[in-house]
Structures are given as structure tokens and as C-alpha cells.
């Protein structure tokens, strides 16, 4: 049986529960589409991931440059009323992420996340990379938190309704990050040390399970040939591949690497050894023919190209060899 005292505490408990429930319900809001939707664009330069997270406002018939986005510092800065740069988007901080150390228009910037802000003018913009990424827009921007400032020149562009970030002009070591909105486009270059990163990545990977396979060391050697860099290291990797499992593939690649190193005699020696070791493999004959032609021994090169054809290469390779022969024989 409930006493008067216990009933009183029960009623109080129910009242507190209902009050907390009402407060929680009152604080909830419907999830509706944003006027400026959240967007994310990701690119990879070599092995380096670069991403921009932003909110994308629309033109909606408004005058953007010099009006909606004022020239110079905006006048809505908080915290003492200091003017602030534009948030380079809408809503929260626009954030840019770099997976490795980079250079921005030639200026070094460590890996990490940065708040992206811009000071806009008719002829020159200032792009700011801030160490602060947690603020709402540029309202609480503090110049003391700048990691880097660069100057860029805006360019006229086709009309684009929504503010958009993207990547263009990709190269092995660099790409441009651009902002395009209304009839303007502005961009900055991101440069990475792809070669050094790839080399270190290969070394790290070869210390894992792939380091027990001939294929891993072979792929590492192929990279060195394709990049035409670290050829001495590539030679060590290919020799390790051959040590683990000698076959026509890695020995053929060894010949190409030696030729890339301008060790022509050693290269041809390896290719000649390969046709003795693997007399049924069309590719070793093709490779010997190709490299004999490279060193000026055209007549003998033709001989081995013809032998490669007799070894029944795949159709696509057969057509290629036939075209090579036509060119070499002047047909």
C-alpha cells in the first residue's frame, strides 16, 4: 500500500519525467533540405587525398560579387565587431583537407584540415587557410590562426547557379583546386611529392604480406621503369623478385630496366638468355626484337619479331607486331 509520502514522490517523479520529455520534444526540429546543401568533393593527386567540404549556395537571381559577397572584408564579423573574410561557401566553415604535406602555389602547407576563407576583390583574391575548422562561417575568424595566405586572380567563366568546388589540370605531382560560382572561377595549385610518397609507400608495403611474393617486388621494379627514377633500387627489387620465383615476366622486366639504365649490353644479354630459358614464350622474342631495334640492330630485331609471331601471341599483340614489321620493312 502506498503511503501519502511515497505517493507524493511518485507524482513528483512523473511530473519531472513529463517536463523532461516536453523539453526534449520542444528541442527537436524536422530534418529538412538545406537552402545551401552540404557538399563534398574528393580528389587524389598521386597518393595524396585532397577533399573540400562546403555548403553550396545558389545565385537565385542575386548579384553575387561585390554585393552578396562584398569586396574586401565583410562587415558582419563578431567578437569585437572586427571585419571578417568570406567563408568561401555558406553555413559552417568551408574545410579543405590534405592527406600529406603539400605546396599551395609553391608555398608549403603541412598535412591536415584547414578552414578555407577568402577576401574578394575585382582583380585579386586572398585565399586563407586557417588552423581553425570548427567555427560557424567566418564570423569568429582570427587572423592569428592563419596557416597560409596566398593571392590568386579570378577569371571569367560560364554561368553556374550553385557554388561548386572541383579539381582540374591533373598531373602526377599536382592539380588545381577551383571554386566556380556565377560567372567567376578562381583556383590554386596543389603540389605534392608524389615520387617520394610512392617510394616510401612501396617500401612500407613490401614489409607486409606482399613482401613474401615475387609479384610485389616485380611491381615495384615496373614502377621505377615507368617513372624512370630510383632505377638502382628497382634493380634490387627485380633481383629479389627473381630470387623468390624466377620466371619469364620478371626476367623480361629486368631486361627493360637495364635498358632504361642505359646498360645496353647487359640488357641484350638478359633478353637473349630469356629466349633460351623460355623458348615457347612469344613475349621474350618480342622484347628481344624491340630492344635490338632500339640499339640499331634492325635486321636482327626483325628476325625476332617474326619469331614472336610464330609463337602465337594474342590477337591484339599479333596485330601490333605485324604493324611494327610493316614499318620496319618499309611496307
In the predicted structure, residue 167 carries a pLDDT above the cut 50: yes
pTM of the model: 0.77
Q: With bands split at pLDDT 50, 70 and 90, how would you rate the model's confidence at 158?
A: very high
List pLDDT tens digits, range 73-98: 876 554 445 678 999 999 889 999 99
What average pLDDT does this structure show over 212-233? 96
- pLDDT of 12 above 60: no
Question: Of 24-28, 59-63, 203-207, 288-292, which range is least confident?
Answer: 24-28
d(CA 86, CA 269): 65
Classified as helix, coil or strand, 103 is strand
Assess whether pLDDT exceeds 50 at residue 310.
yes
| Residue 148 burial by Cβ neighbours in a 10 Å radius (0-12, 13-18, 19+) | middle
Domain 195-328 adopts which CATH fold? 1.25.40
Structure confidence at residue 138 (pLDDT):
84
Domain definitions of the chain by residue range:
38-192, 195-328
- Tens digits of residue pLDDT in 225-255: 999 999 999 999 999 999 999 999 999 999 9
Model confidence pLDDT, tens digit, residues 17-62 = 555 545 555 556 777 677 789 999 999 999 999 999 999 999 999 9
φ and ψ of 289, to 5 deg:
-60, -45
Task: Please give the helix or strand (H or E) that residue 108 lies within, else none.
Answer: strand 107-109
Q: For residues 133 and 114, is the Cβ–Cβ distance under 8 A?
A: yes
In the structure grid, which three cell numbers stand for residue 136, read together?
560557424
pLDDT at 79: 47
For 117-135, write each residue's pLDDT tens digit: 999 999 999 999 999 999 8
Tell me if 247 sits within 8 A of 214, measured CB to CB.
yes
pLDDT of residue 191: 98
The total number of residues shown for the chain amounts to: 331
Instruction: Quickly tell me which residue has 637495364 as its cell.
Output: 258
Amino acid at each position: 500500500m502506498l503511503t501519502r509520502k511515497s505517493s507524493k514522490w511518485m507524482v513528483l517523479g512523473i511530473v519531472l519525467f513529463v517536463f523532461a520529455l516536453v523539453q526534449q520534444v520542444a528541442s527537436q526540429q524536422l530534418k529538412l533540405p538545406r537552402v545551401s546543401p552540404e557538399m563534398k568533393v574528393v580528389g587524389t593527386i598521386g597518393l595524396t587525398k585532397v577533399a573540400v567540404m562546403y555548403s553550396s549556395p545558389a545565385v537565385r537571381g542575386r548579384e553575387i560579387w561585390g554585393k552578396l559577397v562584398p569586396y574586401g572584408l565583410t562587415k558582419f564579423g563578431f567578437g569585437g565587431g572586427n571585419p571578417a573574410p568570406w567563408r568561401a561557401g555558406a553555413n559552417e566553415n568551408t574545410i579543405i583537407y590534405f592527406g600529406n604535406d603539400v605546396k599551395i602555389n609553391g608555398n608549403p602547407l603541412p598535412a591536415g584540415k584547414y578552414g578555407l576563407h577568402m577576401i574578394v576583390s575585382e582583380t585579386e583574391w586572398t585565399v586563407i587557410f586557417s588552423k581553425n575548422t570548427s567555427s560557424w562561417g567566418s564570423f569568429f575568424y582570427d587572423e592569428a590562426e592563419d596557416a597560409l595566405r596566398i593571392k590568386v586572380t579570378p577569371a571569367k567563366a560560364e554561368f553556374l547557379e550553385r557554388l561548386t568546388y572541383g579539381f582540374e589540370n591533373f598531373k602526377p605531382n599536382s592539380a588545381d583546386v577551383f571554386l566556380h560560382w556565377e560567372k567567376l572561377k578562381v583556383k590554386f595549385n596543389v603540389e605534392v611529392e608524389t615520387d617520394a610518397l610512392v617510394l616510401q609507400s612501396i617500401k612500407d608495403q613490401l614489409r607486409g604480406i606482399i613482401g613474401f611474393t615475387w609479384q610485389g617486388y616485380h611491381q615495384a621494379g615496373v614502377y621505377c621503369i615507368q617513372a624512370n627514377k630510383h632505377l638502382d633500387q628497382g634493380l634490387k627489387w627485380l633481383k629479389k623478385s627473381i630470387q623468390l620465383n624466377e620466371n619469364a615476366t620478371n626476367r623480361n622486366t629486368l631486361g627493360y630496366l637495364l635498358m632504361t639504365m642505359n646498360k645496353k649490353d647487359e640488357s641484350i644479354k638478359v633478353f637473349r638468355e630469356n629466349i633460351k630459358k623460355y623458348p615457347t614464350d612469344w613475349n621474350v622474342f618480342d622484347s628481344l626484337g624491340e630492344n635490338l631495334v632500339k640499339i640499331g640492330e634492325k635486321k636482327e630485331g626483325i628476325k625476332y619479331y617474326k619469331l614472336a609471331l610464330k609463337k602465337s601471341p594474342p590477337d591484339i599483340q599479333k596485330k601490333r607486331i605485324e604493324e611494327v614489321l610493316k614499318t620496319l620493312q618499309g611496307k
